[in-house]
Amino acid sequence: MMKVGILTSGGDCQGLNAAIRGTAKALYEEMAGDVEIYGIRDGYKGLIYGDYQLMKPSDFSGILTLGGTILGTSRQPFKMMRVIDENSVDKVKNMKDHYKQMGLDCLVVLGGNGTHKTANLLHEEGLNVVSLPKTIDNDVWGTEMTFGYQSAVEIATEVIDCIHSTATSHGRIFVVEVMGHKVGWLTLSAGIAGGADVILLPEIPYDINKVASLIEKRTEMGKNFSIIAVAEGALSVEESKMKKKEVKAARAAMPYPSISYRIADELGRATGHEIRVAVPGHFQRGGSPCPYDRILCTRFGAAAARLIKKRQYGFMVALREQKIVPVPLGEVAGKLKTVPIDSEMIQAARDIGISFGD
């Protein structure tokens, strides 16, 4: 009897349940029912504190379209994993002990960048691990696509579409803040799909004066509205010259709830226009996964089950050239897939007149 544990870690997103389902159903098929699946609650926290349960095949039915994760999730910073906490909890030791306590043959981990760092750590500690890449940011290295991304793109694009109609009707300028602290894939895609006039990304430092000039130019052309899609991690030219800690401190000290409000205030003073801000926030993480993500999650889950059957551990399943392939965890952990500033998408956006504020 093979025993497999599954956990979901980090920020939630659409498709987690679809990926859990795909993995479980494929395992039951691949192993001809000769498998036990343990659901570990709230990510690595459940593995640390021994919070898990034996799942039944029926637990994985009816969850393909369900948002969130039936296993729950939590954020457990990688940098704290080897730190003994105030309660004398040795997290790595506890995870290894509970893995052995369950008698697991493999641990399946669904998560993003931080999650994969810990997955690789556990693999290096001798545990059998297979992972699936999830995040609305699409920033996991080694895969062309993460699940959750396309669903979030659809939501963020719909927000921009809705803002577009009211901005046009009232002749207003809107700043729409899209999720993405470190990378701009989501903002770039939603901005292009939603017809934004300006897209500000973490990868391309912006000059607020150039953004203001574009708005003025559009006004002179008789276009009395503008849509500015801003990644929450967008950096100004001045901030790009600062150290990360300095930027973090400056953001914490600014009298605005987020970067979009600062940009709106600066543009308002520079242009004299009334600037409105829309922040869809966690709407982008929620709801049912889109068809693309349901299919991708199913493919990822089936591929993970095949690796487990073959006892090929220490890999993340990834999408490359439309094929699902295994990528060593050691190659994934600690790397970030950012938007190349010379990418075809960036060039296409520039070719149709979209400004990146540079």
Catalytic residue list: 137
Taking each helix axis from N to C terminus, what angle separates 291-309 and 16-30, rounded to the nearest 10 degrees? 40
CA distance 245 to 254: 14
Contact 131, 12 (CB under 8 A): no
CA distance 94 to 231: 38
Q: H or E element: which one contains 123?
A: helix 113-124
CA distance 65 to 56: 19
Place of tokens 């205030």: 265
End-to-end CA separation in angstroms for the chain: 59
CA distance 345 to 34: 47
Taking each helix axis from N to C terminus, what angle separates 91-102 and 113-124, rounded to the nearest 10 degrees? 70
Helix (H, G, I), strand (E, B) or coil at 230: strand
